[in-house]
A and B are shown apart, each in its own frame.
Chain A
Amino acid sequence: MTRKIKLSHCRRRVLLALLLALAAPAGVLAMEVKVFAIGDFVPSGSGGCGGGDRSHWPTMVDKWYDKMGSKGHTKDGQYTNGNMTIRRFCDPDWNSGCRDYNYIDEADAAMIATHGSDSGDHWQGTMRFRWSGHCALDAGGSADDMWVGDWDLEFIHVSSCYSADDDNLPGIREAMYDPYDSPPTGRRAHQWDGFHGIMWIGSSFDSDYREFANDAHSVAMARSWVSNMYDGTVDCAWYDPWNVFGTCQEQCPVAYTIGTTASDALTRLYYERYNNVYSDPTDRDWYAYRYIVNCDSVGETAFNP
């Protein structure tokens, strides 16, 4: 005699959800993406943090944001100018007033665009207004403002000068975890993409940001960042537009991952994509990076870690 098993409506829904979750390929969930861009800096005389305007910057990075939306991700926040302070990026374990968990660390993938500098062993980004005495967002190295990845963030792209300088590589990983929250939760960021030396703003770079987002679904994010963001023909002599006489400088992208072993960091660098997301690294003992050999940008010497 056959027994018919009848499931309640509630149990059927639970079973269906479970089956769907198991059936979904790993790492293909839509990401929540955010972009934070400053193009209109506020003079210190007007109560701001200074910096020369770069009006096209937000438009340029919005190409990434819009493409991510068209690839099926959730456009979760587009912050342009406004009240951009470090409060959106700093961790409450550093200062209890910080709110990174409502802003940058609430995203799965985020891009920051602002003037940056090399503050010794780490990158320093300029905000629009001072908060808690700080105009500069310090990240990595000996800095302790910015600890991301302990809430939600996996991928951080920094459209900013000096955001991945060769001498600061050992310290970038310090911004990719929270020394207080990451050990018990296991949550850490996966990849940091930035530039060695200065980077450039202009409408001719718009398609690079769009295609970075596009290609990072088909090939590794690190590959896509370096291929799309590299430019070998900036600041050239007028008779040498293609740098065959070596007069140009370069825009030098660097993609950076962390892991428990060299193999772990390299594997992430080699394969992780927006639609192939690995689990959070369980430690940051090792770091790996993809770069252009001897890349020589304005404001720096040739890349040589």
Chain B
Amino acid sequence: MLNHYFKPWIAALAALLLAISFGSQASDRPTEDPSPSADDLRKLVEAALPQELITEDNTKLVAQLLNPKLGIPLSRSFNPYRAIRTLFGRGGASLSPECRKLTTPTGDMATDECIASKGLESGKGAYKVLRYSKHLALGNVAFLNREADRVIDPAALPPVKMTDREAYEKAVDFLKGTFRVPGEEIFPIPAEAKMLPVRTIALGWASAGGPLKAAAPSSVPVEKMVLIPRGLFVQAHERLQWVPGPGKAMVVMDDRGVKEAIVQGWQEVRPHPKAHAENAKTRSELVSEIAEDIASDLQGPVQAMNMRLMLTVVASENGVGLLLPAVQMAVLPVPRDLTEDEQVELSQMQTTTAGMVREYPLVRMFEEFDQNDDEPLK
């Protein structure tokens, strides 16, 4: 009799508890993100590889890519002592004792940097440092300029006045003049360009208007950041005469001068001796390779993909990088522009958010390497 009376109530209570538990699951942990089917993935890859650039016969394209116009490498052009005189003035700089150690204890080429500095790296004082690869074939040079600590008065923060064009020209002059970055490897901005590779850095601040609110923030643009990725002239296509090469440079400055100038990985390079145009992968091969790799290694949603053609370093000989034409894929798990409400919705429906960038060689090699692993593919 008891069972007959309580059974419907127990069932209702159980259903209610189940609904509550599902509700809290849904708000704290989204359901498993769906991954695209193999077919859909292939379609996304196909859509990302422009038909006019990547075809079934990429022999000519690869031949162009394996013949980039190269400038004089830093190992032959950069003069650290001249750079020190320019950057530190008559007072000069102290060279770290490490500068004399060009090999490791095991006799290998030292891949670390020589440091020339003025002031103490630690503490509150002013400090200037020029760091450069002991073996400049590796292509790393950096200048950092720090002022001594003081109390910042927000009302007295000077806004940067120089234009993007002025910043760009100063940056290129600095990189070519002081760091001797080869001009042949700096992508020339076309006349029809809509923007320069210059960004404005700003500082913002606000007070709490309550636990989660703030008074309207104040901000001041303080510096210009100029980014110069390495460009190599290859004449790959009428719409793509230059492609990214290994390395990048950046200069951050305000109206008083350079705060940071960094050349990173602007390695001395030459085409890989085992890369031959006749071994260029076909479009079909590439699509299959990329789709299979993404399917096996990544899970989760793929909203879109994009590709960049580039020259990348897959191996080095005595610090000189061996260039290989490659396709760099960017995999986007979320749509491009989301409103705040859409972002909250996304957080309820999807866990995967980080984008992924990966390179795929455009050439079949006798010994093929997957850049993203430490071991060669079998």
CA distance A243 to B142 in the complex (A): 24
Which of B28, B122, B213, B338 is the most central at the interface, judged by chain A CB atoms within 10 Å of its CB? B122
In the bound complex, CA of A255 to CA of B92 (Å): 33
A55-B297 in contact (CB<8A): yes
Does B193 interact with chain A (Cβ within 8 Å)?
Answer: yes
Residues 26-68 of A contacting B (Cβ, < 8 Å): 26-28, 41, 43-45, 49-57
The answer to the question of A73 belonging to the interface, with a C-beta cut-off of 8 Å to chain B, is no
- Tell me which of B129, B157, B229, B309 contacts A242 (CB under 8 A): B229
Residue of B nearest to A208 (CB): B264
Q: B182 in the interface, Cβ–Cβ < 8 Å?
A: no
Chain A residues within an 8 Å CB radius of B157: 266
Q: Which residues of B contact A199 (CB under 8 A)?
A: 354-355
Contact of B351 among A115, A133, A170, A299 (CB under 8 A): A115
B202 lies within 8 A of chain A by Cβ: yes
Cβ of B205 within 8 Å of any chain A Cβ, yes or no, is: yes
Complex CA–CA separation, A120 to B244 (angstroms): 38
Inter-subunit contact B354/A135 (CB<8 Å): no
Residues of B within 8 A of A116 (CB): 353-354
| Contact indicator A227/B250 (Cβ below 8 Å) | yes
Residues facing A in B165-223 (CB within 8 A) are: 187, 189-190, 193-197, 199-208, 211-214, 217-219, 221
Residues of the B chain whose Cβ atoms lie less than 8 Å from the Cβ of A276: 122-124, 149
Is B377's beta carbon under 8 Å from chain A? no
Query: Smallest distance from the beta carbon of B1 to chain A beta carbons, Å?
Result: 38
C-alpha spacing A227/B187, complex, angstroms? 21
Stretch at the interface among B38-46, B59-67, B269-277, B327-335: B327-335
- A120 partner residues in chain B, CB cutoff 8 A: 344, 347
Contact A203 B337 (CB under 8 A): no
B264 touching A234, Cβ below 8 Å? no
Query: What residues on A are CB-neighbors of B297 within 8 Å?
Result: 53, 55
Contact with B along A241-282 (1 / 0, CB 8 A): 111111001000000000000110111011100011000000
> Which of B150, B151, B208, B351 meets A286, CB within 8 Å?
B208
Complex alpha-carbon distance, A187 and B375, angstroms: 46
B49-94 contacts to A, CB under 8 A, are 50, 53
User: Of B203, B214, B340, B356, which contacts A201 at CB under 8 A?
Assistant: B356
A101 within 8 A of B: no
**A186 contacts the other chain (Cβ, under 8 Å)?**
no
Number of A-B pairs, beta carbon distance below 8 Å: 315
Report whether B356 and A200 are in contact in the complex, using a CB–CB cutoff of 8 Å: yes
CA gap between A269 and B240 in the complex, in Å: 41
Residue B104, interface by CB 8 Å? no
Residue of A nearest to B113 (CB): A214
Q: Which of B2-10, B283-291, B299-307, B317-325 contacts A (4 or more CB under 8 A)?
A: B299-307
Bound form: Cα–Cα A207–B138 in Å: 13
Binary interface encoding of chain B residues 98-127 relative to chain A, with 1 for a CB under 8 A from any of its CBs, else 0: 000000000000000000000011111001
Q: Given A245-B193, A299-B343, are A285 and B351 also a contact pair (CB < 8 Å)? A: no
Chain A 154-165: CB-based contact to B (< 8 A → 1; otherwise 0): 000000111001
Contact across chains for B33 and A52 when beta carbons are under 8 A apart:
yes
| Residues on the A chain within 8 Å of B333, using CB | 52, 198
Say yes or no for B252: interface residue by CB 8 A criterion: yes
Roughly how many angstroms separate A245 CA and B187 CA in the complex, as a whole number?
Answer: 14
State whether B334 touches A298 (Cβ < 8 A).
yes
- The smallest C-beta distance from B216 to any residue of chain A, in angstroms, reads 9
B37, CB-defined interface residue at 8 Å: no
**Residues of chain B lying within 8 A (CB to CB) of residue A249:** 336
- State A238–B49 Cα separation when bound (angstroms): 8
**Given contacts A49-B29, A293-B221, is CB(A275)–CB(B229) below 8 Å?**
no
Q: Does A124 interact with chain B (Cβ within 8 Å)? A: yes
Closest beta carbon of chain A to B104's beta carbon, Å: 14
In the complex, the 8 A-B pairs of residues with the closest C-beta atoms, listed nearest first: A52-B300, A202-B357, A117-B347, A52-B352, A135-B29, A244-B193, A275-B122, A170-B214
Which residues does A use to contact B, with CB under 8 Å?
25-28, 41, 43-45, 49-57, 115-121, 124, 126, 130, 133-136, 141-142, 160-162, 165, 167, 169-171, 173-174, 198-205, 207, 211, 215, 217-220, 223, 226-227, 230, 232-239, 241-246, 249, 262-263, 265-267, 269-271, 275-276, 284-293, 295-296, 298-301, 305
Given contacts A50-B351, A174-B211, A223-B260, 6 further A-B contacts (CB under 8 A): A115-B353, A117-B343, A198-B334, A239-B50, A245-B194, A298-B332
Task: List 25 A-B pairs, Cβ < 8 Å.
Answer: A26-B123, A118-B347, A120-B344, A136-B29, A167-B340, A200-B357, A202-B356, A203-B358, A207-B264, A211-B264, A226-B201, A227-B262, A232-B197, A233-B244, A237-B306, A241-B308, A241-B310, A244-B193, A275-B122, A276-B149, A287-B205, A290-B201, A292-B199, A298-B336, A305-B204
